[in-house]
Amino acid sequence: MMWNDGADCFGGGFPMMFGGVFMFIFWGLVIWLIVVAIRKLSSKDKPSEADNAVELLRQRYSRGEIDTEEYRQRLQELTDTDKI
């Protein structure tokens, strides 16, 4: 079988240009999936909104912005899981 000087049935190298584009898209998707996976795994370490609210309430109480009765009432509301 003899080769015909590079003039094949695909037009002589034109599809090779798309090979590079598809390779770029493939590696872009792989990198994007890795970044998404890392973000998902690292977001579990962050405190929830309820934890942040309780911490803010404790800070306000320690600074004397709210009294003991208000602190206990709000803490009860924040930690009451039946309301959620």
- Domain regions of the chain by residue span: 49-79
pLDDT in tens, 61-76: 999 999 999 999 999 9
The two structure tokens encoding residue 71: 């602190």
pLDDT in tens, 1-45: 555 555 555 555 556 667 778 889 999 999 999 999 998 888 666
The two structure tokens encoding residue 9: 């049935």
Rounded Cα–Cα distance for residues 61 and 52 (Å): 14
pLDDT in tens, 52-62: 888 999 999 99
Which amino acid appears at position 15 of this protein?
A: P
Quote the pLDDT of residue 62: 93
The two structure tokens encoding residue 83: 């309301």
